[in-house]
Chain A
């Protein structure tokens, strides 16, 4: 995708409470920040802790004003739970890219099945794995990503999350 004529990159990350939506958004925002961009990240806390729908907006570019991605203007929509795709699609612009768990899950299997397969992904780090998929599109320096992952996760899971991230970069996204 040609991003040269677009001043702001808009990403919406969505899923259910407890899945690491906010964490993934924090890592993404941090990576863009470390790359020197102006960044805004917005989310709704509170009730969403109780397993309900959660989403977080991340925007970066030379100058970002509103902290919220305008409706229908997300360049990327990254969804961490299969049930949360349909209710968030309205945020994606025409030609925008959907990155979802469909890319890492076999048909009919749930997220826990990731714990048993042979990939570095599991039911706890696949949010970072999907960031790896996103990383193929948005051109942030590798060291910014790695530093951001380290900053926002406990030390004992750094390596496995970096592996999940690298694995994510090998996957091919589906487009809408």
Chain B
């Protein structure tokens, strides 16, 4: 119908296209490399997409849509699933009525992340179904199928992607996958399924395990797992992008390419192992498949531990198959990224360096201040941890050290997970007080300049309600709130804040240099629109 026959898309674009074709009524998520472009593309294609303050919020909004019978897409990077883990686990109990698909975009090799956790473990731990596309074509097909599967099993489906699936372009033929159109949303009261008090949750857990057992059986014939029989000597079990590395590294091998990797089709796997002399599992990251197969008594070779770190590629797969554990050649180092010329963070960190602050940092461009010439960031763990780790340091350190502790957080990160830290600060103030600096550059710069509740614009840059940081901070009871936009004023404010044993928040508000021209365009468009509305009303 609406499909072009052949397109060149990356995995993220393919998911967006499938969401459109599947009749998804809302897409939401929090920006995070490598997942960000999914919702942006869904919006460009005409879908309704919005940024949430964080992944937990996005997941819960999504759950509401699916409880109401609508089809929902929720996107996040791998560490975002940690934030959304609370509703994730219980949503496996409640189940869903409308198709609920969430994307976990993992980052093996950490191109742009603080860890390389393997989120396949989440699907197993929570008990939700999991699909792993290997390229953009499968990202399209699996997303379409995921809605069908989610509605058939009434369970959330996690599509686990990785950087090389999200950000690799390949040829996509979007035709040939037809699923039934979504039902119109409608609420059906169902206490026993949707109200997870212990009396309802206990049978819900049993229902979930029983469903998963049936889903495992169904997966044996789901059509999502492909067997390619060639050599009887060597068989390889693989999933995701590793499949393509394997095809190139061992073209003669028989393959079992798993597309639905939770619950695993154990009978299919066992039969495959029996059909070859040597069976090797090639998987990126954790030994997820190897452990599951060995637990069920399957005899397979895994990869030496050295290949658990970083991405796989054709060369590494060849080495694994050859049992080569000699040190790998180290590619020459490139130029590390740095804060842009003219970036407002530069001078802020220069001031903090001057005052020898102990900086409890956070996730964003400003994390780059750990590199020379600034070297002014002393910790960075996860979204929002700047405020709270800073408070812990203030509680533990001797006063003369504690007084130098400053928490530094960006505007988008502040909305994501900083607000609860401020509540903690006001509720349990350290003896020396505390200083929080919000680097408000008016955008989610790190991930490519996305909007957030503090910018007052929606995902597609249209005006909406704006969260005022200073008013929120005052309402929460922070006694000293300073807003500044110039380097000297920032220095004065920081100096004063460091000297008093009180709670202070300094909002350093200066627009990101890269975002500035774009923001000017959005503001101009909004002003023009307002003018037109006013003249119509006159």
Which A residues form the contact surface with B (CB < 8 A)?
16-17, 26, 29-30, 33, 38-53, 55, 64-68, 70-71, 83-84, 86-88, 90
List B contacts of A30 (CB < 8 A): 8
* Interface residue B394 (Cβ < 8 Å from any Cβ of A): no
Q: Are B313 and A44 in contact (CB under 8 A)?
A: no
Cα-based distance from A132 to B425 in the complex (angstroms): 59
Given A50-B337, A52-B338, do A40 and B168 touch, yes or no (CB 8 Å)?
yes
* Interface residue B468 (Cβ < 8 Å from any Cβ of A): no
* Interface residue B335 (Cβ < 8 Å from any Cβ of A): yes
Given A50-B339, A51-B340, do A66 and B244 touch, yes or no (CB 8 Å)?
yes
Cα-based distance from A53 to B334 in the complex (angstroms): 5
Given A39-B169, A50-B338, A86-B332, do A68 and B112 touch, yes or no (CB 8 Å)?
no
If over half of A's interface residues share one DSSP class (helix, strand or loop), that class is named, otherwise mixed; here it is mixed
List A contacts of B336 (CB < 8 A): 52-53
* Interface residue B241 (Cβ < 8 Å from any Cβ of A): yes
* Interface residue B454 (Cβ < 8 Å from any Cβ of A): no
List A contacts of B329 (CB < 8 A): 71, 90
Q: Are B313 and A39 in contact (CB under 8 A)?
A: no
Q: Are A53 and B335 in contact (CB under 8 A)?
A: yes
| Given A39-B169, A41-B168, A71-B315, 13 more pairs with CB closer than 8 A | A39-B8, A42-B168, A43-B167, A46-B111, A46-B447, A52-B337, A64-B170, A65-B248, A67-B135, A67-B164, A67-B170, A71-B329, A87-B333
Given A41-B169, A45-B34, do A70 and B315 touch, yes or no (CB 8 Å)?
yes
Look across to chain A and name the residue whose beta carbon is closest to the beta carbon of B514: A49
If over half of B's interface residues share one DSSP class (helix, strand or loop), that class is named, otherwise mixed; here it is loop
B90 to chain A, nearest CB (A): 32
Interface centre among A16, A41, A66, A83 (most CB of B within 10 A): A66
Q: Are A51 and B245 in contact (CB under 8 A)?
A: no
* Interface residue B365 (Cβ < 8 Å from any Cβ of A): yes
Question: Shortest 4 CB-CB distances between A and B: which pairs?
Answer: A46-B112, A53-B334, A52-B337, A50-B337
List B contacts of A29 (CB < 8 A): 8, 169
Q: Are B248 and A39 in contact (CB under 8 A)?
A: no
Given A30-B8, A44-B111, A52-B334, do A68 and B314 touch, yes or no (CB 8 Å)?
yes
Q: Are A45 and B168 in contact (CB under 8 A)?
A: no
Given A67-B164, A68-B164, do A51 and B247 touch, yes or no (CB 8 Å)?
no
Q: Are B135 and A45 in contact (CB under 8 A)?
A: no
- Among B112, B167, B248, B447, contact of A42 (Cβ-Cβ < 8 Å): B167
- Among B33, B171, B332, B334, contact of A46 (Cβ-Cβ < 8 Å): B33
Q: Are A45 and B169 in contact (CB under 8 A)?
A: no
* Interface residue B163 (Cβ < 8 Å from any Cβ of A): yes
- Among A33, A68, A90, contact of B171 (Cβ-Cβ < 8 Å): A33
Q: Are A45 and B33 in contact (CB under 8 A)?
A: yes
Q: Mark B315-349, 1 if CB is under 8 A from A, else 0.
A: 10000000000000101111111111000000000
Cα-based distance from A17 to B514 in the complex (angstroms): 13
* Interface residue B368 (Cβ < 8 Å from any Cβ of A): yes
B112 to chain A, nearest CB (A): 3
Cα-based distance from A68 to B317 in the complex (angstroms): 13
* Interface residue B488 (Cβ < 8 Å from any Cβ of A): no
* Interface residue B448 (Cβ < 8 Å from any Cβ of A): yes
- Among B170, B248, B332, contact of A87 (Cβ-Cβ < 8 Å): B332
Q: Are A52 and B111 in contact (CB under 8 A)?
A: no
A-B contact pairs, 22 of them (CB 8 A): A38-B171, A39-B171, A40-B168, A41-B10, A41-B169, A42-B168, A44-B112, A46-B112, A47-B111, A47-B368, A50-B337, A50-B340, A52-B337, A52-B338, A55-B334, A66-B244, A66-B247, A67-B135, A68-B164, A71-B315, A87-B335, A88-B332
Look across to chain B and name the residue whose beta carbon is closest to the beta carbon of A50: B337
Cα-based distance from A171 to B368 in the complex (angstroms): 39
Q: Are A39 and B170 in contact (CB under 8 A)?
A: yes
